Amino acid sequence: MKFDIMTLFPEMFETFKHSSIIGRAADKKGIIEINTVNIRDFSKSKQKKVDDAPYGGGMGMIMTFQPIYDTYLHITKSLDYKPKVIYMSPQGRVLTQKLAGELSECEHIIILCGHYEGVDERLIEEIVDEEISIGDYVLTGGELPAMVLIDSVARLLPGVLSKDECYLEESHSNGLLEYPQYTRPEMVNGRRVPEVLLSGHHENIRRWREEQSIKRTLKKRPDLLGRKDKF
């Protein structure tokens, strides 16, 4: 799966692209490809300008049409299909495990990262297929949201997670929170591992974990229990 990122700050992605599970999936396994394209390289103004004041007045700067549109044309010029174009924006559909699963079916995704007060609305009309938000808060740019989206999607692709990493009982994968987990030693600061986990009785362990998942979700995230967008 290929990700092209349109951004003014490609350097923000350098560590992300090459680290941990994402780095291994890209560099060693070749399951994903992550490319950044610097929008400023496509500015036609002599000072490499990429933003301007809003029509109608008001605060802040808006990213202009031309550099972003030319970046998009550069990425897509030799393709015989249309990749999905996503704009990271506080106004978008909120990213959930279900949406990450849907996006993992895509072969090629282009992500537009905005800065300042956003981009000229005509870019959204002209090139954007879907506006996505990683949550109801505002950041200085769409770069961190883009990395969150890529991470959530890439880890669902076959082969990205190792056998140890890809347990199916994690939080949100079944609409519930994960049960509590313990590892050695059996006792720390006077706190023992729950007895049932040491019993070797697999059916009792399964029932205990299921009960813990439901109790925890009720206590920590009761909003999840009534939701229909379970993955």
The residues binding ligand 4G3 (CB under 6 A) are 88-90, 114, 117-118, 133-135, 137-139, 141-142, 145
In DSSP terms, 110 is beta-bridged to: 4, 85
- CA 133, distance to chain mean position in Å, is 9
Alpha-carbon span 230 to 206, nearest angstrom: 21
Q: Residue written as tokens 């290929």?
A: 2
Buried b (16+ CB within 10 A) or exposed e, 43-63: beeeeeebbeeeeeeeeeebb
Residue closer to ligand 4G3, measured from CB, 111 or 176 = 111
Min CB(137)–ligand 4G3 separation in Å:
6
Which C-beta is closer to ligand 4G3: that of 81 or that of 137? Answer: 137
Provide, rounded to whole angstroms, the least separation between the CB of residue 92 and ligand 4G3. Answer: 6
Q: How far is the CB of 128 from ligand 4G3 (least distance, A)?
A: 11
Nearer to ligand 4G3, 93 or 227 (CB): 93
Q: 69 by DSSP, 3-state: which?
A: helix
User: Least Å distance between CB 80 and ligand 4G3?
Assistant: 31
Residue 135: DSSP 8-state: S
Q: How far apart are CA 112 and CA 114, in angstroms?
A: 6
Give the nearer residue to ligand 4G3 in terms of CB position, either 88 or 160: 88
Q: Min. distance of Cβ 68 from ligand 4G3 in angstroms?
A: 12
Closest CB to ligand 4G3 among residues 59, 138 = 138
Residue that has been written with the tokens 């800065």 in this structure: 115
Residue placing its CB nearer to ligand 4G3 in the complex, 83 or 145? 145
Closest contact distance (angstroms) between CB of 46 and ligand 4G3 is: 27
148 CB-near residues (< 8 Å, 6+ apart): 95, 134
